[in-house]
Amino acid sequence: MNHQTSRRPIRSAHKILRDYGIDDPDQIDLNAICFDKGILVIEAPLKGALARLIRNGKDKALIRVSDRVREVGQRRFAIAHEFGHFMLHQEKNQLSLYHQKELLFWYKELSPEEQEANTFAVELLMPNFLFESRCSSESPTVATIEKLSTEFETSLTATTLRYLDFTRHDCAAIVSRDGKMTWFKTCETFPLRLLDMGTMVDPDSLAGQLFAGDLSPGGPQQVPVEMWVEDQEFSQSFTIQEDAVYLKRYQTVISLISIQPASPLNRFLTNRAVSAAW
């Protein structure tokens, strides 16, 4: 999504939060906000989608959420996504479907409208003016993500990606499914090239252990760089930290890898950057 496309949903979400005087995550009562805006949110059986927006003119609508959506974070994101369509795409009196893949707001095949609805949802549920201060100094661990996920009532996946927007650590999130790397996101400063998508995860990585059935690998661990990184100049010389969580329902593992501030790799990269500047 280009910069111009992304600003409109962010401004719209921020205006709503300002209008309701929201300055804490627990004040983001999504159903109440929707109701005040003329949208009734109901839970009911729904085939082929997680949520559906049905307009009744310009100012009224119904958001129907599938009764199969039990996870609070996923349910809130689905509602916020459809709310985004209601606020941003008023010229289209359409039936809007929210499918599983639309949860992945970084998904490259999404249409501009779906990207806008997802950006709106992210900014409404995890606004930068509330989220950034809570994660910028926190270490890149699953425990950090779980804490933020609980506070903002958002899914682990969405929270992990939002954390990467603001963290001051050099880190990346890698999602693997059925033992293969499927997609990733890095923070802006992450200096290394990751392995190609589709690569089988190393059985000795935390992700590999989780796929093998060890559901309690014991928290963050130091692992060899080559487990996740393509750059061969660093292999055999340095280690990085990996933490991981298994999402059983989706047969998916989220690995959070990071370069520790005091590690040899971090010092090497810092020195190389300084030398290049000279």
The pLDDT of residue 104 is 46
**95: CB partners within 8 A, 6+ apart:** 52, 53, 54
Q: Can 3-125 and 134-277 be said to share one CATH topology?
A: no
Which CATH number is 3-125's, of 2.120.10, 1.10.10, 3.30.70, 3.30.310? 1.10.10
| Strands in the chain per DSSP E | 39-44, 51-55, 61-66, 96-98, 170-177, 180-186, 221-224, 239-247, 252-259
- Give residue-wise pLDDT tens across range 175-184: 999 999 999 9
How many whole angstroms separate alpha carbon 53 and alpha carbon 147?
Answer: 31
Residue 106 has pLDDT above 50, yes or no: no
pLDDT band for position 137 (cuts 50, 70, 90): confident
How many whole angstroms separate alpha carbon 147 and alpha carbon 10?
Answer: 24
Place of tokens 């093998």: 212
**Residue closest to 103 by CA, chosen among 141, 53, 164, 49:** 49
| Cα dihedral sign, 89-91-93-95 | negative
pLDDT band for position 236 (cuts 50, 70, 90): low
Q: What is the 8-class DSSP label of residue 249?
A: G
Place of tokens 């201060």: 133
Is pLDDT larger for residue 118 or for residue 20? Answer: 20
**Residue closest to 123 by CA, chosen among 115, 72, 147, 183:** 115
CATH number at 134-277? 3.30.450
Q: What is the dihedral of CA 136, 138, 139, 144, to 10 degrees?
A: -120
- Residue 264, amino acid: P
- Specify the pTM: 0.86
How many whole angstroms separate alpha carbon 118 and alpha carbon 105?
Answer: 5
What number of other Cβ atoms are within 10 A of residue 208's Cβ? 21
Residue 138 has pLDDT above 90, yes or no: no
Task: Decide the pairing of beta strands 221-224 and 239-247.
Answer: antiparallel
Which residue ranges make up each domain of the chain?
A: 3-125, 134-277
> What's the gap between Cα 82 and its chain centre?
17
Residue 222 has pLDDT above 50, yes or no: yes
**Long-range contacts at 147-151 (CB < 8 A, ≥ 24 apart):** 149/73, 151/25, 151/26
Report the largest interatomic distance among the alpha carbons of the chain, rounded to a whole angstrom: 63
**Residue closest to 75 by CA, chosen among 86, 66, 88, 84:** 66
And the tokens for 237? Answer: 């010389």
Task: Decide the pairing of beta strands 180-186 and 51-55.
Answer: unpaired
Residue 65 has pLDDT above 60, yes or no: yes
What number of other Cβ atoms are within 10 A of residue 88's Cβ? 18
How many whole angstroms separate alpha carbon 222 and alpha carbon 274?
Answer: 26
